[in-house]
Chains A and B, each alone.
Chain A
Amino acid sequence: MLSINAVNDFVVRFANVNGSGSASANNMFAKAIFRMGIPVSPKNIFPSNIQGLPTWYEVRINEKGYLGRRDGVDMMISVNPQSIVKDIAAVKTGGYFVYDNTRKLHNEIIRDDINFIGIPMMRMCMEHYKDPRKQQLFKNMVYVGALTALIDMDEAVLKNIIAEQFAKKPKLIPPNELAIKLGADYARANYECPTGLKLETRDAVGDHIMIEGNEATALGAIYAGATVMAWYPITPSTSVAKAFETNCKKLRVDPETGKKKYAFVQAEDELAAIGMVIGATWNGARAFTATSGPGISLMSEFIGLAYFAEIPAVLINVQRGGPSTGMPTRTQQPDIISTAYASHGDTKHVLLFPSTPAECFEMTATAFDLADRLQTPVFVMSDLDLGMNNHMSPPLKWDDSRVYDRGKVLTAEDLENMEEFGRYLDVDDDGVCYRTVPGTHPTKGSFFTRGTSRDEYARYTEDGQVYVRVVDRILKKWETAKSLVPKPQVQWSESETKFGILFFGTTNYSALEAMELLEEEGIQVNAMRVLAFPFTTEVEDFIDKHEYVFVIEQNRDAQFRSLLINELDAHPKKLIRVLNYDGMPITADNIKNQIVQKNPLAPQLASKPTAS
């Protein structure tokens, strides 16, 4: 049999039972590789359930730094009998199947084109640990230990991680180390170590960090001065709230009095959560909420109020598989249209599309500036993949001289010195008007905020002409927004081409890798990653420049493509769908295959690139 041989470029998948304590062992595995200086990207594939169902942890190791998912599993670590048949089938020919041989495998599931490596995980744990709970838990460390031998993972690095993890409970260090040793010794005694898959220490991660997108988002909100967070639990956004609270406890408590410089309200539902955000921002604080698709649906009425009454709000939409409850623990980008146009009537909203934790941090902070500057809701469009998985990311950056842009808010002094105040007067001709916060001035600047039509002085009106004036002026802000949102990033191919690929958010990882794969197939593409909606002229130019643009996204209906057509009058024939919506992050191979298949200029172009 031909075994797979690879150094620093393979995929290891762990098949576990959820609630069995495997997460911490798996994290240590990924962290150890990261600390060996090798780029790594782990992904949790978990059920909507608390205990007992299959869960997988897939780790791609790639020295070149491609962090997207890759098809195929080189090594499976199987500790879940429930999914074993499927797990054996998932291994690539020549790959490795590491399993607990305390019990023998049935003959009929054995494949002869992969390597079976049995480690008696349970048996060794029963021999060395008395407590049944510990026997379960340390089984996880036994397979991590076996991996130190099987793929040459640095044991000293791993031991360091264990020591850090249990710094506060040092009693747990020796039994963990024992489990590592049991696994490693057994593997060495019974198999050729390392196998064809091998790690080699590198210096390829630089100053990067390993962090979940949601944690970075929460930190972004804290750095941006958010003082009120209102939320309702929903996967995959809950950890934004949790991280906001835990970090606020460290960073936002007055050391002398122990009092909090933040308010954290678990609302009764998403309607209330967004209502609280709007109440708080109306009253001059920075406030935000984090939710997912179902929450956005519930918040829609209020989102329209904030849009029309011109109240800033920051919403984090950590997207998950829809529609309805959909696939609540799987990733997608399915809320593009429902968020871009959330609420009844003519509404449209500013969206930001982060693709790394560092961008979650930066874009969340930017979202607060944009919301205040434009006096409108701003959405950070993350997703489950980005939010809930650890990602290798550039470090979070903050410039201490950065000043919050609180937008056009009048002080008592401003009011004192001005002749007339009209809340909705477009004084600066950019569509954005001056607002006042309650409590500012004893006799000046009060006004009535309402979701009904009103004139420039915030007085109720049903006069159609006034209404048109107001909604057109609000549309003017949309133009202003274009000058403020982050610009797209472009990567030009070496030679001229008629093809562009266009994508956003977490698709970034795989799209850039796909460029290289396409190149190998003789297809050159230029790439644009869109960072924000509204679309800036660069997006329009990019589409104009190419004969065909492949729009890569993770939903069934090509929603982003619809948005491009709707907003830019782009020709639908020019925009070719490249989609993935099975709930798993899109892979580079998948993108490449779809582009090769859908290539409208197939015969000519595959061989030689033409000039545009």
Chain B
Amino acid sequence: MSYIKPTFRHPTLPKNKIGFAKADYEGKISTLCAGCGHDSISASIVQACYEMAVEPHKLAKLSGIGCSSKTPTYFLDNSHGFNSVHGRMPSVTTGAYMANRDLIYLGVSGDGDTASIGMGQFVHAIRRNLNMVYIVMNNGCYGLTKGQDSATADYGSISKAGSKNMFQAIDLAGMALELGATFVGRSFSGDKSQLVPMIKAAISHPGFAFLDVISPCVTFNNNNGSTKSYDFVREHIEATAAIDYVPPKAQISVAYAEGQSAEVKLHDGSSIHLSKLAPHWNPSDRNSAVNRLQAAKTKGEVLTGLLYIDPESQDLHELQNTVGTPLNQMGESELCPGNEALDSINSSFR
């Protein structure tokens, strides 16, 4: 069933600097369970894109299969979307990005979609530093197939049916760090004030920006003993720093205390401001991020916030030395070598 929202917009609704109201960034009405964490993440995506004044048609949203992967229908209705096959969103996004380097690519996936069936593609998208935002809506289970444990379920976490997970969890953020991702963050669907600036920073980042967002499944994994429930996450959440995204040319309004804050400049002129820094952690030092994450794990904390950013990131097109013009905009005259060239090719085979 697909619901259509009324398209009438009240004329006095506030608009962003390119003339779009927030409602212009919304999607169809969600068919997910009421209270599902994924819907809150969709709302944060809408908020971030509205505030950043992203041109909707300059963004492509892609996903795999799962409840999480359905969400692109529920945000950014004016953007092209692609609900691909289970675990394979990274390859589709890679191809799309090769074809047109000028769009923003927002990939949405689930923990099943990424950490199991799609692990291979996830890993290789990181290696290539594909210029995209990759959000995993991480609920520790397979929502759409009715609640089986996923590979991110923590050891010892108790399922709704009462069984205890006896396998080690894959920490996607930790893995992304190890694999050389140039932007890694973790957040919580229930913490919009943190998630919105993180999404904005991820969009601005010229390379693979990974966001592991804990997103409770209210239907299958929100019970006592689950480490991905709203209650558990709220009780154990810890942040690297408070984060603020400052768009290009904007005035910095907050003053940060010396030694307790850091600023990271991004390629497009925007910057990320971090305050209340965790000790022994520097956002552009990969080792300190790995250590900080490990320390949190040992203490049983759910560490959120920006974990690592490489401001010198070079994306796949730069690494491949592709022309500036998007490849999908070239025609015969640029691409076809013509008959004369073919004549000399033919004679080289005689």
Contact = CB atoms under 8 A, between A and B. Distances in A.
Interface string A428-456: 00000000111111110011111110000
Contact of B121 (A211, A222, A272, A436): A272
A285 B91 contact: no
A462 B72 CA distance: 19
B103 to A, nearest CB: 5
B349 to A, nearest CB: 4
Chain A binding surface SS class? loop
B338 A400 contact: yes
B336 to A, nearest CB: 6
Given A261-B327, A279-B91, A442-B57, A223 B336 contact: yes
B164 to A, nearest CB: 33
B331 A272 contact: no
A280 B55 contact: no
A271 B88 contact: yes
Interface string B20-63: 00000000000000000000000000000000000111101010
Interface centre among B85, B324, B329, B336 (most CB of A within 10 A): B336
Given A279-B96, A438-B100, A461-B2, A446 B80 contact: yes
B327 A228 contact: yes
Contact of A276 (B85, B95, B337, B341): B95
Interface in B224-270: none
Interface stretch (A181-189, A262-270, A473-481): A262-270
Contacts of B124: 267-268, 272
A223 B339 CA distance: 9
A260 interface: yes
B13 interface: no
A283 B337 contact: no
B337 A277 contact: no
Interface size class of B (residues with CB under 8 A): 35 or more
Contacts of A261: 322-323, 327, 330, 334-335
A285 B82 contact: no
A517 interface: no
Contact of B93 (A211, A279, A451): A279
Nearest to B94: A276
Interface string B108-140: 000000000000110110001000000000000
Given A254-B323, A259-B321, A275-B91, A395 B83 contact: no
A536 to B, nearest CB: 28
Contact of B91 (A267, A281, A437): A267
A448 B85 contact: no
A301 B64 CA distance: 13
Contacts of A254: 323
Interface of A: 34-35, 207-211, 219, 222-225, 227-228, 230, 251-252, 254, 257-265, 267-269, 271-285, 287, 301-302, 305, 395-400, 402-404, 436-443, 446-452, 459-462
20 contacts: A34-B350, A230-B94, A252-B335, A252-B337, A259-B324, A272-B120, A274-B91, A275-B91, A275-B94, A282-B96, A285-B328, A287-B95, A404-B331, A439-B58, A443-B57, A448-B83, A449-B82, A450-B82, A450-B83, A461-B2
Given A251-B341, A263-B99, A279-B62, 17 more contacts: A209-B349, A211-B349, A225-B330, A225-B332, A261-B322, A263-B320, A263-B322, A272-B124, A273-B91, A279-B93, A280-B95, A282-B95, A404-B331, A438-B80, A439-B57, A451-B83, A460-B73
- 9 closest pairs, A vs B, by CB? A279-B95, A275-B91, A285-B99, A276-B95, A280-B95, A284-B328, A438-B80, A279-B92, A209-B349
Interface of B: 1-2, 55-58, 60, 62, 72-73, 77-85, 88, 90-100, 102-103, 120-121, 123-124, 128, 317, 320-324, 327-332, 334-339, 341-342, 345-346, 349-350
